[in-house]
Amino acid sequence: MNRQSRNGKAKWIREALERYERPLIRYAARLTGSVDTARDVVQETFLRLCEAERGKVEGHLAAWLYTVARNHALNVRKKEARMHGIPQEKAEARADSAAGPGAAVLRSEAHERVNSALRGLPERQQEACRLKFQDDLTYREISQVMGVSLGTVSTLITSALDSIRQQLRAGDDLAQEA
């Protein structure tokens, strides 16, 4: 690899790091329950990007990064669960408490109602919704990350949104009755 080619790859990786590091840390923290572990996962993800052939990754960089991060985070979570078994509720609470600058927004009542409804959904629906609405991935990218068909992604998100709407309406009805 010549110097110009190395400089081009270094610039490409820097740009990917600037664009995806924070969203990947949030995503990995949701999966692992720990911001520190998420940072390790994302560091490993970018190390793998450095080793990857640019031509094989370019064109689907977001899906590639999220897939690598997801796989590594799930492996870490399994390993840590074998070591000291963290209950899912505690892992979610730790990930939520480490939200950083966005925490102020999440404290609003409306956001909390939506997040509460989201947490009540099956794990796959939660993941699909978070990838779509928090990480801004396309259905195709979500399909690649989760290893499911486009139709399954659509069904997961549609079902999740229907369930959230129903829960919010039920909460509104209860509030009006009070």
pLDDT band at 1 (very low <50, low <70, confident <90, very high): low
Q: Judge if 92 and 128 occupy the same domain.
A: no
- Dump pLDDT digits (tens) for 75-105: 988 887 666 544 555 555 555 554 554 444 4
- Identify whether the C-beta of residue 146 lies closer than 8 Å to the C-beta of residue 153: yes
Q: Judge if 171 and 139 occupy the same domain.
A: yes
Tokens 């690649």 identify what position?
144
pLDDT at 176: 65
Tokens of 36: 């520190």
Q: Judge if 130 and 160 occupy the same domain.
A: yes
Distance CA 137, CA 97 (A): 24
Q: Judge if 22 and 80 occupy the same domain.
A: yes
Q: Judge if 6 and 85 occupy the same domain.
A: yes
> In the chain, pLDDT over 90 holds for what percent of residues?
53
Domain total of the chain:
2
- Identify whether the C-beta of residue 61 lies closer than 8 Å to the C-beta of residue 96: no
Query: Residue 43 is part of which domain span?
Result: 1-98
Q: Judge if 175 and 129 occupy the same domain.
A: yes
* Residue of 178 and 82 predicted with greater confidence: 82
pLDDT at 38 over 80: yes
CATH of the domain at 147: 1.10.10.10
Average pLDDT over residues 20-42: 93
Domain end, chosen from 77, 98, 119, is at 98
Tokens of 68: 């690598």
Tokens 């664009």 identify what position?
19
Q: Judge if 72 and 105 occupy the same domain.
A: no
pLDDT at 48: 94
Average pLDDT over residues 142-149: 94
- Identify whether the C-beta of residue 138 lies closer than 8 Å to the C-beta of residue 59: no
Q: Judge if 75 and 10 occupy the same domain.
A: yes
Q: Judge if 37 and 118 occupy the same domain.
A: no
pLDDT at 158 over 90: yes
Q: Judge if 87 and 113 occupy the same domain.
A: no
**Angle value at C-alpha 85, between 81 and 90, nearest 5 degrees:** 110
Q: Judge if 65 and 140 occupy the same domain.
A: no
Distance CA 108, CA 7 (A): 45
Q: Judge if 110 and 174 occupy the same domain.
A: yes
